[in-house]
């Protein structure tokens, strides 16, 4: 009889462990890192604009444009003409450009980074976080900010 109780206890324990693993593998829990490839979405049109690959170097996070979705009337090989001439990205090709720099993980957010908008050449302070499986990126200057939602590419 004692052997049966021990066997039942092991089955219950095993069932609980498996249940917790299945629950925690749900996408809402599984995605807590910003690493990987993300599809950026244009604020005004709602259309995909680019793919940014976020990677880690030391304790900091960076992102580089690895693909662009251009409209037929757009330059097929754009450069950052509007970037500040003192910025090392000035007159560089947008494809391959590092637009996210220096974000630091702080609990569930990535803070103290900067993001470049290559379409207007402006650099914004930024923070990032995961929400419902999407990457939220907030660029801000002083009290003004804009938040974008980027979609994970599997």
- On whether both 24 and 46 belong to a single domain, the answer is no
The answer to whether the CB of 91 falls within 8 A of the CB of 80 is yes
Q: Are residues 91 and 40 in the same domain?
A: yes
Do 77 and 11 belong together in one domain?
A: no
User: Which DSSP letter does residue 93 get?
Assistant: B
**Interatomic CA distance for residues 103 and 115, integer angstroms:** 9
Each residue's pLDDT tens digit, 119-137: 999 999 999 999 999 999 9
The more confident residue out of 14 and 4 is 4
- Cβ atoms of 25 and 17 within 8 Å: the answer is no
Cα(153)–Cα(139) distance, integer angstroms: 22
- In sequence order, which residues have a C-beta less than 8 Å from that of residue 74 and are 6 or more positions away? none
Question: For 44-83, what is each residue's pLDDT tens digit?
Answer: 899 999 999 999 999 999 999 999 999 999 999 999 999 9
List the domain range (segments joined by +) for residue 53: 32-152
Q: What's the mean pLDDT when you consider all of the chain? A: 86
Same domain, 102 and 137: yes
């Amino acid at each position: 009889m004692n052997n049966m109780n021990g066997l039942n206890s092991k089955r219950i324990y095993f069932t609980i462990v498996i249940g917790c693993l299945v629950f925690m593998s749900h996408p809402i829990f599984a995605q807590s890192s910003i690493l990987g490839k993300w599809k950026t979405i244009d604020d005004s049109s709602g259309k995909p604009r680019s793919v940014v690959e976020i990677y880690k170097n030391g304790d900091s996070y960076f992102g580089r444009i690895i693909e662009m979705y251009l409209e037929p009337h757009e330059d097929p090989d754009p450069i950052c003409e509007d970037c500040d001439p003192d910025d090392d990205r000035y007159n560089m090709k947008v494809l391959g450009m590092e637009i996210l720099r220096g974000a630091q993980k702080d609990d569930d957010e990535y803070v103290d980074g900067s993001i470049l908008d290559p379409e207007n050449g402006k650099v914004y302070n930024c923070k990032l976080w995961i929400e419902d499986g999407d990457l939220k990126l907030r660029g801000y200057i002083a009290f003004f900010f804009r938040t974008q939602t980027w979609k994970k590419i599997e």
